[in-house]
Amino acid sequence: MNERNKRIKICGLTRAEDIEAVNLWKPDYAGFVFAPGKRQLTPYKARQLREVLLPGIPSVGVFVNSPIKDILALIKDGTIGMVQLHGDEDRDYATSLKEQMESPVPIIKAIRVRSEDDMWKAESFPSDYVLFDTYSKDVYGGSGKSFDWSSIPVIKKPWFLAGGIGAENILKAAATDAFCLDLSSSLESEGRKDPEKLKEIIQILRSE
């Protein structure tokens, strides 16, 4: 995939103003976090944001060890169109989630990378995509730190790249074989998404 055509996911959206910026600059995916933390959304708030998000931008629900029934409810009512498992969910969990979906939606399994072996094993996980993120002890994601991208092996399953991607290294990230680049904390100012930073990232990647 050409660097300039690399897909982009903006994660951790929490406000109507965030959605306005996303609708204007049109990244490929919008991430709603349901895991505990400063970006956590209630199902009600997420539904409100989904209603004003452009229909053509898939909403990705990010979960950490959530009850499967909670995920299924958000799929059923249309709040999310993809699932990102960012905790300790195992193969049985992912298989059970798939089997219980009334209408199948894609699943992304996040891998907190400690070794190349972690990434090789991810290829056989029962998900549609994997996401490689930086390992931080006791933190499931959103650390804002990157890992050695040159260590990522060539695998057949399409993968998202997360962890410490910002304006200063977005082109380096785009030069990897990632299917999609996942950004969150680097697009924030004082803990909130900054429309100007989102604009900058989109323009760097999609400029002629």
Domains located in the chain, CATH noted: 3-206 (3.20.20.70)
| 144 pLDDT above the threshold of 70 | no
Percent of the chain with pLDDT over 90: 80
Q: 3-class secondary structure for 67-127? A: CHHHHHHHHHCCCCCEEEECCCCCHHHHHHHHHHCCCCCCEEEEEEECCHHHHHHHCCCCC
What does the pLDDT read at residue 147? 85
69: amino acid identity, one letter: K
Q: Residue 1 — pLDDT band, cuts 50, 70, 90?
A: very low
Check: CB of residue 149 under 8 Å from CB of residue 173: yes
Task: Go through 26-61 and write b for each residue having 16 or more CB atoms within 10 A of its CB, e for each that does not.
Answer: ebebbbbbbbeeebbbebeebbebbeebeeebbbbb
Catalytic residue of the set 77, 128, 133, 148: 133
| 54 pLDDT above the threshold of 90 | yes
Q: For 187-202, how does the pLDDT look when each residue is reduced to its tens digit (9 = 90+)?
A: 999 989 999 999 999 9
List the Cα angle 77/80/81 in 5-degree steps: 105
The question of whether 180 is a catalytic residue gets the answer: no
The question of whether 92 is a catalytic residue gets the answer: no
pTM reported for the whole predicted model = 0.92
d(CA 107, CA 89): 12
Catalytic residue of the set 11, 18, 180, 182: 11
